[in-house]
């Protein structure tokens, strides 16, 4: 049976939540494999809005197994608050339908404090983090001092982990003018939360391999977007994890041969939250119109998103890096009513035309978009569920996007409602 990886192919906020929900109804297991509670997915099901940050989108679907993989950094208190909020909306969450990898790193209060203190004192160039401790937790993971879910089960091990962790963090805190961490308070908080987290803990790699052998369909749900990848994104204005499709294997313990289809989620225009280069950004009435019509505010932070024309150069690049099989093009309806539309087909840099975004930060900041202008359409695409429902110029726009990014459209989303979707290629086709 087909196993599908879903990744955002821009700077995030592409509408992954709706598409993952649409796909999760047909999957058996849904896996989060990277990121933390800095990412947000909004699902609209039968008029009810669900806002998720840590929990896989499949959690709102009865009979599905949701998994938080080891590639995620987990704030246990944020997770419990999210579970309680969903339970208040009538969603059942228990160890029967939610598993957490035993080797998942934990985000602690000290991580958020460090994150915010650094951002406040960074007068050279702010990264634009959410301040939730994601980056510092990943730093501790690669520094081999992080506390993991399994450590909560043994007080003696926890003492050793805390001691190693605070040797590093108290030195950092002193340099930032923060007081040392209260060891007893930290351990007490962890011991208090342990009985509520440990029932969900499992060797997830083993569970997933068994599910695959049994022929279950597995859906891997990425967070953020490919252009925020710590290696391939617009560094240093990136997240602290790998957001490409390849991370699905490392972040879950299920090998890369398990993946049958990579679906890249792509918005019909471009948005970005936070700092960093954005070649097609619009500071005019068109940019304002895109933001208002697209309701471009972050699910988690509420921050206003920067808006611009579709950048085919960047999407072609991220599709190649993630091995995207097909894209899901979202928010086409936001473009309804524009007389003309623009697509970035290349960049101009010092008199030279580039067909990719250079790696060096100074060059990224200096590139200028080369645009192709297309006619807009006056009809509505909102709620369309077949090609026949689309204006001719909208179809031409979609086909031109396919040509420029060298990747076919597998699905087309025309509203936040899950059923307002045109299926071109079924990712779950055997």
Q: Is 41 annotated in the active site?
A: yes
Angle (deg, nearest 10), helices 155-175 and 183-197: 130
Residues 263 and 46 sit within 8 Å (Cβ to Cβ): no
Which residues, at least 6 apart from 272, have a Cβ–Cβ distance to it below 8 Å? 10, 11, 227, 278, 281, 305, 306, 308
State how far the Cα of 171 lies from the Cα of 195, in Å rounded to an integer.
Answer: 31
Q: Is 37 annotated in the active site?
A: no
Q: How buried is residue 380: exposed, middle or buried, by Cβ count under 10 Å (0-12/13-18/19+)?
A: middle
State how far the Cα of 21 lies from the Cα of 25, in Å rounded to an integer.
Answer: 6
Structure tokens at 42: 């909004």
- Looking at 37, 41, 111, 169, which residue is catalytic? 41
Q: How many helices (H) and strands (E) does the chain have?
A: 12, 18
Largest CA distance in the chain: 67
Structure tokens at 109: 């209060």
Give the Cβ contact number of residue 182 at 10 Å. 12
Active-site residue numbers?
13, 41
């Amino acid at each position: 049976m087909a196993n599908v990886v879903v990744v955002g192919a821009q700077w995030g906020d592409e509408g992954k939540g709706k598409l993952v929900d649409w796909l999760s109804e047909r999957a058996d297991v849904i896996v989060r494999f990277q990121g933390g509670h800095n990412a947000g997915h909004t699902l609209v099901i039968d008029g009810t809005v669900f806002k998720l940050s840590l929990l896989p989108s499949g959690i709102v679907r009865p009979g599905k197994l949701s998994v938080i993989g080891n590639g995620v950094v987990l704030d246990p208190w944020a997770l419990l608050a999210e579970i309680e909020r969903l339970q208040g909306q009538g969603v059942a969450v228990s160890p029967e339908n939610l598993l957490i990898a035993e080797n998942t790193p934990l985000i602690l209060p000290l991580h958020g404090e460090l994150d915010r203190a650094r951002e406040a004192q960074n007068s050279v160039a702010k990264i634009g983090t959410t301040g939730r401790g994601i980056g510092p937790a990943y730093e501790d993971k690669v520094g081999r001092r992080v506390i993991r879910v399994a450590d909560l089960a043994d007080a003696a091990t926890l003492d050793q982990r805390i001691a190693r962790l605070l040797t590093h963090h108290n030195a950092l805190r002193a340099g930032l003018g923060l007081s040392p961490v209260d060891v007893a308070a930290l351990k007490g908080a962890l011991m208090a939360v342990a009985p509520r987290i440990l029932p969900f803990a499992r060797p997830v790699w083993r569970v997933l391999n068994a599910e695959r052998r049994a022929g279950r369909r597995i859906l891997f749900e990425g967070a953020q977007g490919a252009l925020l990848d710590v290696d391939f994104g617009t560094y240093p204005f990136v997240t602290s994890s790998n957001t490409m499709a390849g991370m699905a294997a490392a972040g879950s313990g299920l090998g890369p041969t398990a993946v049958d289809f990579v679906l890249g989620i792509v918005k019909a225009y471009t948005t970005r939250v936070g700092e960093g280069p954005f070649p097609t950004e619009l500071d005019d009435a068109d940019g304002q119109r895109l933001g208002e019509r697209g309701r471009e505010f972050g699910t988690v932070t509420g921050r206003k998103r920067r808006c611009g024309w579709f950048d085919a150069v960047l999407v072609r690049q991220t599709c190649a890096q993630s091995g995207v099989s097909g894209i899901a093009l979202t928010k086409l309806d936001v473009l309804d009513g524009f007389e003309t539309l623009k697509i970035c087909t290349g960049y101009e840099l010092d008199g030279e035309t580039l067909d990719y975004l250079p790696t060096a930060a100074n060059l990224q900041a200096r590139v200028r978009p080369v645009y192709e202008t297309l006619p807009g359409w006056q009809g509505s695409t909102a709620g369309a569920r077949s090609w026949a429902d689309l204006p001719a110029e909208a179809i031409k726009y979609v086909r031109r996007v396919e040509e420029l990014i060298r990747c076919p459209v597998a699905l087309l989303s025309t509203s936040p409602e899950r059923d307002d979707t045109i299926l071109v290629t079924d990712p779950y086709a055997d």
